[in-house]
Amino acid sequence: MRIATRMLRTYREGRGGQGCVAIDCVMRFADRVAFGLALLVCANVLVAQTPARSFCPAPARVTSPDSLPDLRPPLVPTPKVVRGVYVNRWAALGDRGWQLIGLASRSEVDALVIDVKDDRGFVLYRSRVPLARAIGADTNRPMRHERLRAMLDSMRAHHIYPIARIVVAKDPLLANAKLEWAIRRKADPSTPWRDKKGNPWLDPHQEGPWRYAAELACEAVDLGFSEIQFDYVRFPDDKRLVMDATFPLARGRVRAQVIRDQLLATRARLAPLGVPVTADVFGLTATDTTDMGIGQKWEQFVNTVDVVLPMMYPSHYNPGTYGIAKPNAHPYETIAHGLEDAHRRSAQVPGAASLRPWYQDFTLGPPHYTATEVRAQIEAGYAKGVQGWVLWNPRSMYTESAIHAAPERTAMQFDKRRASAAHDGSTDPEPRS
């Protein structure tokens, strides 16, 4: 276009500024097109030079006495192998939280999965997320920020990886407050569908609950959590749902596609944080080729997050699964079969997430679970090439004899204390028992 315009101008100048009407028309047209193209180029340059607005807001001011203001705490680097235990809300608020930090500081456990938002909808601490404050999610005995800061600082000092567990779809507090986001009854769409306990669930089709979870994730990272773990990324596990509920936002999508779309969108929102985004899924999804009615199909979700955590509790497998009469009584074999299926199916999906299974450290039916059963699951994972794991106990009470000591972690802490004692001018401290 630039060359054509120059040629026309040269022709006009050669005629003393006179030109035929046709050429003048072409000149005017060329000038307009060139001007329009210039505007378009300038607009593109401006857009390219304008930084994209991050989904997460700027870090909040840290005003607790033991922290510097305006500084986001440094995050704990992701361990080469993550081995963790679950810390429920009440354990975190009480002495048990400190006891589990102590367990991790002297054992192979190097991560704690802490309830930031539990399956009742309560947030662990006073939140700056407007929706959390509006619905009172942070008002049920919230942890003081000074205590949270002390716990996270202690974990960082001991190289313990803090993971924020955030429940998404099972949030009766939010579902009651925002009925437009709840699953609706087919018979009367103006009323929410309720599970067998009488609680409403959030509709996974709705964008609002996922944005809310992402906002809480941003805040958690600002406070010092190094990984985000989403739980209940699914539809309710209830056969009545098909007959009793309606989903006007489905628009022809199957449930597995809905969960995939929402996980991808949530991961994209959190990408600027630079932390792993992970998801808990039913353990049987590694083997079942359907979405199990909950929207979790292995090939659909396994490449939407950085780490997938199948909940492979042997007590949750039906008799006869994998040809095992009583899967709960054979934890090693049950875990081994499940992980074989997970590896096989992940191998067919480009960009599949790594595996970090949940193992059972609780008793549900015979036999009573002891260190033998808990350790059998861990060893089955090792045999199948899965080194990481997380133990689940709903009360956060763990079989410590199933967890190996880590002499190198104890030695590391001893060296730190020795250095501190030398700095203080005192004698060598006794090693921690």
- Indicate which CATH number applies to the domain containing 178: 3.20.20.80
Note whether 301 and 264 are within 8 A (CB): no
Within a domain: 177: yes
Same structural domain, 13 and 120 = no
- Print burial letters for 186-212: b (CB count within 10 Å at least 16), e (below 16): eeeeeebbbbeeebbbbbbbbeebbbb
Distances (CA, A) of 63 to 19, 67, 73, 139: 75, 7, 12, 19
Within a domain: 184: yes
- pLDDT tens, 411-429? 555 445 444 444 444 333 3
Q: What is the pLDDT of residue 26?
A: 36
Is the pLDDT assigned to residue 199 strictly greater than 50? yes
Same structural domain, 203 and 301 = yes
Q: What is the pLDDT of residue 7?
A: 42
Same structural domain, 191 and 249 = yes
d(CA 421, CA 140): 41
Mean pLDDT lowest for which of 52-66, 238-252, 305-319? 52-66
Q: What is the pLDDT of residue 22?
A: 40
Q: What is the pLDDT of residue 423?
A: 42
- pLDDT tens, 90-145? 999 999 999 999 999 999 999 999 999 999 999 999 999 999 999 999 999 999 99
How many domains would you assign to the chain? 2
- N-terminal to C-terminal alpha carbon distance within the chain: 80
Compute the average pLDDT of residues 337-344: 98
Within a domain: 417: no
Same structural domain, 133 and 179 = yes
Distances (CA, A) of 318 to 104, 329, 345, 367: 33, 12, 21, 15
pTM above 0.85, yes or no: no
d(CA 244, CA 242): 6
Note whether 113 and 85 are within 8 A (CB): yes
- pLDDT tens, 17-61? 444 444 344 344 445 544 444 444 444 433 344 334 567 865 544
Q: What is the pLDDT of residue 346?
A: 98
Is the pLDDT assigned to residue 432 strictly greater than 70? no
- Look up the domain containing 166 and give its range: 83-402
Q: What residues form DSSP beta bridges with 190?
A: none
Same structural domain, 147 and 211 = yes
Torsions phi, psi for 216 (to 5 deg): -65, -35
- pLDDT tens, 150-175? 999 999 999 999 999 999 999 999 99
- pLDDT tens, 274-295? 999 999 999 999 999 999 999 9
